[in-house]
């Protein structure tokens, strides 16, 4: 995470004047549904700063050597990036032994594919596309 923050030119240290707490738009948003979908692991959480539009988007996948971890442990990551003006999507994926490699990578690719297939890259349309439901991204 520190490397990612460095590459993005961000500091995850506490800022002198804290930004407003980002709003969690939705949790447990399915990025894959239907046959073969895992209703718990094929989900993501959306973190968005209040009152900002036209934001860059970060797709964050937890670590755990394909065997452990869950997006719920990384809500602080979503909030930290959202406080710095980045719409953050924290993604879960299936773990071993429920799936064998490269199934994990396919899950991650599927989440990214859902983002990349959106024709209108604005934040509002992106979140609406992922969730498949109306989502108010203007607040």
How far is CA 12 from each of CA 65, 97, 137, rounded to the nearest angstrom? 24, 33, 24
Cross-strand bridge partners of residue 45? 90
Smallest CA-to-CA distance from 92 within 107, 103, 82 is with 107
Identify the helix (H) or strand (E) that includes residue 26: strand 23-30
Q: Which residue has the tokens 């993501």?
A: 44
- Asked whether residue 37 is assigned to any structural domain, the reply reads no
Task: Write out pLDDT tens, residues 37-75.
Answer: 999 999 988 888 877 777 888 889 988 888 999 999 999
Enclosing domain of residue 99: 42-134
**Count of the separate structural domains present in the chain:** 1
For residues 87 and 21, what is the distance between their CA atoms, to the nearest angstrom?
A: 13
- Asked whether residue 27 is assigned to any structural domain, the reply reads no
Question: Residue 103: is it exposed, middle or buried by C-beta count within 10 angstroms (0-12/13-18/19+)?
Answer: middle
- Asked whether residue 16 is assigned to any structural domain, the reply reads no
CATH number at residue 97: 3.40.50.1820
Cis ω before 6 (30° cut-off from 0): no
- Asked whether residue 77 is assigned to any structural domain, the reply reads yes
- Asked whether residue 101 is assigned to any structural domain, the reply reads yes
Q: Say what the pTM is.
A: 0.69
For residues 61 and 116, what is the distance between their CA atoms, to the nearest angstrom?
A: 16
Task: Write out pLDDT tens, residues 76-125.
Answer: 889 888 888 888 889 999 999 999 989 988 998 888 887 665 444 445 44
- Asked whether residue 58 is assigned to any structural domain, the reply reads yes
């Amino acid at each position: 995470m520190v490397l990612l923050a460095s590459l993005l030119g961000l500091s995850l240290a506490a800022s002198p004047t804290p930004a407003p707490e980002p709003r969690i738009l939705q949790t447990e948003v399915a990025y894959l549904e239907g046959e073969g979908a895992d209703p718990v692991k094929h989900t993501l959480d959306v973190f968005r700063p209040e009152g900002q539009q036209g934001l860059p988007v970060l797709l964050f996948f937890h670590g755990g050597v394909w065997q452990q971890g869950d997006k719920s442990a990384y809500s602080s990551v979503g909030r930290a990036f959202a406080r710095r003006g980045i719409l953050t999507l924290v993604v879960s994926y299936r773990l071993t032994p429920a799936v064998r490699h490269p199934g994990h990578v396919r899950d991650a690719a599927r989440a990214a594919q859902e983002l990349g297939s959106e024709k209108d890259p604005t934040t509002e349309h992106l979140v609406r596309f992922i969730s498949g439901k109306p989502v108010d991204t203007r607040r």
